[in-house]
A and B are shown apart, each in its own frame.
Chain A
Amino acid sequence: MSDVPAGAARLRHCFASAHASGRAALITYHTFGYPTAAVSLECALAAARAGADIIELGVPFSDPSADGPVIVAAMEQALAAGASLHGALAGAAAIAKASPQTGIVLFGYYNPIWIMGPSVFASACRDARVDAVLVVDVPLEELDEISRPLAAHGVGSVPLLAPTSGLDRAAMVASRNAAFTYYISMAGVTGAAAVPVSPARIADLRAATNGPVAVGFGIKTPSDVAALAPHADGVVVGSRLVAEIGAGDPATAAARTGALVTALAAATRRT
């Protein structure tokens, strides 16, 4: 596995550690800059302290065509408050410094990365200790354009698969030394209603991709997490956490995030 980028190897270690302690890895998503840069980072760190193994930091984009209303609104507010790709990279560096054992994934849309320049971006990711990058609007067909410069700087990439993807597409992931595969649990946008994911489907994807599979989209409650934990390598909770931040005083957002993540983390136990 010498070709696996260092960042991807660190994330695989997060999955292996969780597995060794009888858990699925918990991945929490935070829109960087929502409601402010400082509060979003406090919330991410609170999530890490409360048991999140991997932090996904969402980079706000003006045209988030794959996200649902909760994250769209959070991104609009974050951009209005001055959030940026540079800010998100600095935020990732701050999380890495404060919580060195936590995996960090940068999650975003392609245009800001492309305009910065994939190589410049990849090198900034390495400097910020971003472990891997997930770009929602870069499918497997176009992935080399970004995954090659990332790998050259030791940063992993996270391909996505969907309910509509055949196993032939899962096999396309196998040769890519991905950090992990993000399985979108349903045909839909972030934050929609959860649908049950078949354990057999996850097993098939894990076999075909030859690596860890994390399941996201529509996972909101500890019982959603508990249902998936025995079958998936990791579970992702996003919109529910973003909604929690929006539901009350920003001053208590980190405490509320921590309480919610504690409950979600408890549900990742497989026994």
Chain B
Amino acid sequence: MHEPKPVGEATPGRYGAFGGQYVAETLMPALHQLTSAWSAAKADPAYWQLYDRYLRDTVGRPSLLTEAPRLSEALGARLLLKREDLNHTGSHKINNCIGQVLLAKRLGKTRIIAETGAGQHGVATATVCAMFDLPCEIYMGARDVERQQLNVLRMRMLGATVHAVAAGSATLKDALNEALRDWVTNVGHTHYIIGSVAGPHPYPEIVRDLQAVIGREALEQTRQLTGDLPDAAVACVGGGSNAAGLFAPMVPHGEIRLFGVEAAGDGLDTDRHAATISRGVIGVLHGAKSLVLCEREGAAIGQIIEPHSISAGLDYPGVGPEHAYWHATGRVTYLARTDAEALAGMSQLARLEGILCALESAHAVAALPDVIAAVGKGKPIVVNISGRGDKDMHTVAAHLAKESA
């Protein structure tokens, strides 16, 4: 294992063998413009002051870091829950949307588009567009529109137009394709708020830097609670934005063990999962070279495999390129949990701590026994509760009905 590069690597847009800009030529000038706008914003204290002000006054940051005494006792650790579910709009997604809408304003863009899986990023995007009076169009797979109706309604109430994408598997990857088609067509006046640390450079960097507030707060709050750094941190990984935000400030602290948890769906040994790092291959999807789920040989060589997860937000066949890099360098350990294990984790957290987390976050909760086994009993561990579970009650109800039938 070679030493991982610090955040802000030497080759812009590359994380070892991963990253890059694999998009239609039409978008390249916009990506160059975005890259320089981000460099300028990053170096501008006024940008961060505004970002911090909105995070405090609108999002309600800092989010709590909560002791979880009953869960800790049940599992034999000291579990500290990073409560991104308490943010305005109900997840970590708003951190990125605030930062990107401020960036869009700097760029003089007058229209916002976004893709969404579970709808959390769509709701966060619709919210910032309402706040800043920008027209907003959200692309969402038709299947996700079906299973996340509450979030669709929320987006519409906030004034966004939601497009149900019927192409392909009608899930997150197809919503991303459709958003890219829109962006190619309207790139002159439109900013595309990508919701994860995926996509072409500079998006993985922008989203990581904007979500890094999670990790910075968690480090500071853990110090206040325990007088020291945590022994480990755990987060779910679909595209990987909540995990990248939690991990990025911790990566330089080599003594903190980091764990990402993917969606194993029906099981890693079935063909119905979304565990891109555990089971993927290096490929090119949605603008970046990273790990992807695709056919490796035979007639369908190179075609993307439709993933499966009970959680719409993790149901994605790619992953952010920096996660692929952290995996390749061994800095982060990636685990996977099935749909059933995630549901059990959701239920366990609800009954022991009174917190109904999102199905996405439940994957992180469900992986805790393995994490505790790796770092030892009784150690402080930060668990990212990336979103709240109201939106998933429909899915849970359908699952319970199937089980009792």
Contacts and interface: CB of A to CB of B under 8 A. Distances in A.
B303 A79 contact: yes
A114 B302 contact: yes
Nearest to B185: A188
B300 A79 contact: yes
Contact of B186 (A111, A115, A187): A187
B188 to A, nearest CB: 7
A113 B302 contact: yes
A192 B185 contact: yes
Interface stretch (B50-58, B175-183, B234-242, B266-274): B175-183
Interface residues on B, range: 35 or more
A48 interface: no
Contacts of A87: 299
Interface in B348-382: none
A155 interface: no
A62 B184 contact: no
Interface in A116-153: 116, 136-142
A137 B303 contact: no
A197 interface: no
A86 B303 CA distance: 12
A65 B185 contact: no
B20 interface: yes
Nearest to A159: B25
A269 to B, nearest CB: 30
A111 B304 contact: yes
A248 interface: no
Interface in B319-342: none
B181 A65 contact: yes
A137 B23 CA distance: 4
A187 B26 contact: yes
A189 interface: yes
Given A76-B168, A114-B302, A65 B177 contact: yes
A34 interface: no
Contacts of A136: 24
B199 to A, nearest CB: 11
**Main SS at interface, chain B:** mixed
Query: Most chain-B Cβ atoms within 10 A of its Cβ — which of A73, A84, A87, A139?
Result: A139
B143 interface: no
Interface in A13-70: 61-68
B75 interface: no
Contacts of B188: 164, 187
Interface residues on A, range: 35 or more
Contacts of B167: 72-73, 76
A164 B26 contact: yes
B173 interface: yes
A82 B20 CA distance: 31
A162 interface: yes
Contact of A162 (B20, B25, B295): B25
Nearest to B176: A65
Nearest to A161: B25
B139 to A, nearest CB: 11
A63 B307 CA distance: 13
B22 A138 contact: yes
A270 interface: no
Given A63-B177, A142-B21, A187-B186, A115 B283 contact: yes
Interface in B37-67: none
A85 interface: yes
Interface stretch (B80-88, B205-213, B255-263, B285-293): B285-293
B394 interface: no
B400 to A, nearest CB: 33
A66 B25 CA distance: 10
A112 interface: yes
Contacts of A160: 24-25
Contacts of B287: 137
A30 B6 CA distance: 47
Contacts of A140: 25, 28
Nearest to A141: B21
Contacts of B158: none
B29 A84 contact: no
B302 A116 contact: yes
A236 B20 CA distance: 29
A84 B299 CA distance: 5
Given A137-B22, A140-B25, A66 B300 contact: no
Query: Most chain-B Cβ atoms within 10 A of its Cβ — which of A62, A136, A188?
Result: A62
A232 to B, nearest CB: 17
A242 interface: no
Contact of A85 (B21, B28, B285, B301): B301
A162 B26 contact: yes
Contact of B185 (A85, A165, A189): A189
A112 B185 contact: no
A66 B28 contact: no
A115 B296 contact: yes
A81 B305 CA distance: 16
A29 to B, nearest CB: 16
Nearest to B23: A137
Nearest to B20: A142
B26 A163 contact: yes
Query: Most chain-A Cβ atoms within 10 A of its Cβ — which of B26, B187, B285, B300?
Result: B26
5 contacts: A73-B167, A76-B167, A111-B284, A137-B24, A142-B20
Interface of B: 20-30, 167-168, 173-174, 176-177, 180-181, 184-188, 281-287, 289, 292, 294-296, 298-304
Given A110-B284, A137-B22, A188-B26, 19 more contacts: A62-B168, A62-B303, A65-B24, A82-B299, A84-B300, A85-B301, A111-B292, A111-B294, A111-B303, A112-B301, A114-B283, A116-B302, A137-B24, A142-B22, A165-B25, A166-B29, A184-B25, A187-B186, A188-B184
Closest 8 CB pairs of A and B: A112-B302, A162-B26, A115-B302, A65-B180, A84-B299, A160-B25, A65-B177, A62-B303
